[in-house]
């Protein structure tokens, strides 16, 4: 429906309250002019009708944590996420190699934690797929990778760089830490601006296809493969993308962000690493003998950055997964801005292993958390990666969504795409079906993470996040109602259409 004034009829979930419903909604000039229950009032009988039948309407879904460039690149490189065994990995890559015509064959989403072999491929195994071109495989968490023999040279990784795994003096192909960062950065540098813009378009259309109308896009040089000037590149094309983009420049350069006129800074500014790579900073050692992880910044560095960014009026987002990193984020925020953190809506990304004292401090200071429920879907529960890395007790305490909400900490939901699919319905599904039942969210709270919660994070709560008079007519049409279907089938609900400000979004056309 592309007229300026029309009436939507359907199962409208306003998301103002758990039972908030409407049967019709009048859209005028991209905004909601009125809505109500029961039949459409007679005075609106002249307005064109968008009758959605049994379709369910929710506010446009809103993903508060997306690495948009890498997310789009996953659509341009080989996806090995569906492999069930190492043989599957090799078969998928051999298949891609047969028709490959580029300089380096890249694959993504390799996840040994989901394979029975539980190991990485070797450089020799990648060489066996093809020696005609270098082959480079990224681990799903983005914190390590594997290079074929020729890829090591092609990506300029010196064999004595820290993080090159050696066996009997020869590289196995596995790259971690600095060696991984160099290879990933070099791999990214080979991309042209046209390829980057295409990646942004692909990611935006993928989002639209799942009803996600707004993404917080974390972009900039702290992601391997992103460059400093990708922030400007994205700002330049953001108006042409299928969905709305809220740009989070990943940099410590406060002056540059102020000069760009942006009101926010950060994203995955890494205070620590990840559980899967054994690099998140824990209070107690990992259960599988990997030490405690480490903090990547000193308190002085972080407090100085917070003080400067906060002083210039910027909202700040930093990545902290383990308890020690969360402690550091809280401690440095308290030193830099005290309880003023709340007005600035400073955010901690992931915040996966908070204690109750962390949560009460976060509430007191007004620090909010952007969580990734799909992590639990992939890695939570008995026998999963969290249990192997953290042990059964800490596994049960990871991502305590219900406890976090109950303690008054503001939450938003994010996919961390490329790490998990850019799919808020999967995120909602994962929060409702979280392996530990005592931390599962109601459907209302789970949808709120990806609607009103995320809108608050980007200071958009007056125009987005719920369907109310005066707000944008930005909504998704779903084939089924997540409040009504069995919780186990929320992830397979279709997003049949997405509207932003009253206009339907075309998720199909090629860039």
Q: State how far the Cα of 473 lies from the Cα of 463, in Å rounded to an integer.
A: 9
Q: What are phi and psi of 218, to 5 degrees?
A: -90, 120
67 binds Zn ion (CB under 5 A): no
268 binds Zn ion (CB under 5 A): yes
Of 89 and 221, nearer to Zn ion (C-beta) is 221
**Interacting stretch for Zn ion, rule CB under 5 A, among 171-179, 262-270, 421-429, 473-481?**
262-270
Of 358 and 471, nearer to Zn ion (C-beta) is 358
Of 214 and 268, nearer to Zn ion (C-beta) is 268
Nearest to 59 by CA among 508, 491, 474, 492: 474
CB of 5 to Zn ion, least distance (A): 43
CB of 276 to Zn ion, least distance (A): 12
CA dihedral 68, 71, 73, 79 (to 10 degrees): 180
Nearest to 498 by CA among 276, 269, 214: 214
- Whole-Å CA distances, 205 to 75, 261, 460, 499: 11, 27, 22, 13
Q: State how far the Cα of 318 lies from the Cα of 339, in Å rounded to an integer.
A: 17
For Zn ion (CB under 5 A), the number of binding residues is 2
Q: State how far the Cα of 320 lies from the Cα of 329, in Å rounded to an integer.
A: 7
| Contact yes or no for 63/212 (Cβ under 8 A) | yes
CB of 274 to Zn ion, least distance (A): 8
Which of positions 138-157 make contact with Zn ion (CB under 5 A)? none
**Interacting stretch for Zn ion, rule CB under 5 A, among 116-124, 261-269, 298-306, 401-409?**
261-269
Of 122 and 374, nearer to Zn ion (C-beta) is 374
- The tokens describing 425, both together, are 């319905």
- Whole-Å CA distances, 364 to 339, 348, 356: 7, 14, 12
**Interacting stretch for Zn ion, rule CB under 5 A, among 111-119, 223-231, 317-325, 485-493?**
317-325
CB of 226 to Zn ion, least distance (A): 13
Of 361 and 416, nearer to Zn ion (C-beta) is 416
Residues 6 or more apart from 243 whose CB is under 8 A from it? 204, 207, 208, 212, 213, 214, 215, 498, 500, 505
**Interacting stretch for Zn ion, rule CB under 5 A, among 31-39, 314-322, 427-435, 449-457?**
314-322
CB of 390 to Zn ion, least distance (A): 18
**Interacting stretch for Zn ion, rule CB under 5 A, among 84-92, 263-271, 279-287, 401-409?**
263-271
Q: State how far the Cα of 346 lies from the Cα of 340, in Å rounded to an integer.
A: 9
CB of 350 to Zn ion, least distance (A): 6
**Interacting stretch for Zn ion, rule CB under 5 A, among 116-124, 276-284, 319-327, 422-430?**
319-327
**Which of 139, 180, 198, 319 is the binder for Zn ion (CB under 5 A)?**
319
CB of 295 to Zn ion, least distance (A): 15
Alpha helices in 439-481 (DSSP H): 443-448, 454-457
CB of 267 to Zn ion, least distance (A): 7
Please give the distance of CA 35 from its chain centroid, rounded to a whole number: 32
> CA triplet 402, 408, 413: central angle to 5 degrees?
55
Interaction pattern, residues 205-244, with Zn ion; x per rule: CB under 5 A: ----------------------------------------
371 binds Zn ion (CB under 5 A): no
CB of 402 to Zn ion, least distance (A): 22
Of 96 and 252, nearer to Zn ion (C-beta) is 252
**Interacting stretch for Zn ion, rule CB under 5 A, among 9-17, 266-274, 358-366, 454-462?**
266-274
Burial label for 356, CB within 10 Å (0-12, 13-18, 19+), is exposed
Q: Which residues contact Zn ion (rule: CB under 5 A)?
A: 268, 319
């Amino acid at each position: 429906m592309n007229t300026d004034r029309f009436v939507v009829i359907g199962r409208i979930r306003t998301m103002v309250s758990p039972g908030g419903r409407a049967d019709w909604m009048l859209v005028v000039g991209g905004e909601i002019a009125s809505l109500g229950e029961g039949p459409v009032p007679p005075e609106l009988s002249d307005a064109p009708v968008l009758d959605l039948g049994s379709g369910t309407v929710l506010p446009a879904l809103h993903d508060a944590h997306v690495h948009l460039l890498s997310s789009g690149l996953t659509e341009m490189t080989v996806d090995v996420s569906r492999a069930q065994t190492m043989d599957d990995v090799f078969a998928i890559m051999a298949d891609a190699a047969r028709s490959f015509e580029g300089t380096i064959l890249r694959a993504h989403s390799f996840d040994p934690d989901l394979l029975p072999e539980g190991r990485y491929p070797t450089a020799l195994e990648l060489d066996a797929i093809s020696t005609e071109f270098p082959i480079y495989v990224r681990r799903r968490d983005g914190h390590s990778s594997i290079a074929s023999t020729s890829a090591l040279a092609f990506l300029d990784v010196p064999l004595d760089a820290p993080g090159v795994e050696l066996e009997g003096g020869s590289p196995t192909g596995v790259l971690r830490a600095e060696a991984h960062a160099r290879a990933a950065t070099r791999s990214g540098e080979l991309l042209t601006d046209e390829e980057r813009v295409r990646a942004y378009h692909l990611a935006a259309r993928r989002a639209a296809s799942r009803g996600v109308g707004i993404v917080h896009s974390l972009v900039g040089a702290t992601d391997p493969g992103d460059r400093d000037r990708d922030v400007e590149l994205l700002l330049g094309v953001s108006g042409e993308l299928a969905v709305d983009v809220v740009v989070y420049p990943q940099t410590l350069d406060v002056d540059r962000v102020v000069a760009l006129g942006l009101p926010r800074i950060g994203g995955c500014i890494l205070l620590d690493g990840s559980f899967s790579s054994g690099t998140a900073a824990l209070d107690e050692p990992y259960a599988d003998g990997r030490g405690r992880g480490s903090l990547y910044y000193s308190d002085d560095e972080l407090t100085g950055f917070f003080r400067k960014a906060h002083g210039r009026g910027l909202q700040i987002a930093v990545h902290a997964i383990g308890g020690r990193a969360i402690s550091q984020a809280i401690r440095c925020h308290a030193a830099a801005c005290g309880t003023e953190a709340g007005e600035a809506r400073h955010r901690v990304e992931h915040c996966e292993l908070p204690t109750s004292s962390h949560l009460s401090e976060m509430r007191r200071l007004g620090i909010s958390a952007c969580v990734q429920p799909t992590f639990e879907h992939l890695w939570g529960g008995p026998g999963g990666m969290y249990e192997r890395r953290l042990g059964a007790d800490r596994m049960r305490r990871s991502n305590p969504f219900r406890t976090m909400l109950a303690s008054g900490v503001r939450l938003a939901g994010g996919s961390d795409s490329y790490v998990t699919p850019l799919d808020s319905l999967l995120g909602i599904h994962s929060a409702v079906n979280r392996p530990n039942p005592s931390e599962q969210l109601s459907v209302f709270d789970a949808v709120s993470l990806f609607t009103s919660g995320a809108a608050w994070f980007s200071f958009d709560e007056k125009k987005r996040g719920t369907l109310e008079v005066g707000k944008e007519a930005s909504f998704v049409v779903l084939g089924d109602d997540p409040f009504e279907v069995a919780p186990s089938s929320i992830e397979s609900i279709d997003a049949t259409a997405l509207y932003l400000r009253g206009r339907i979004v075309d998720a199909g056309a090629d860039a």
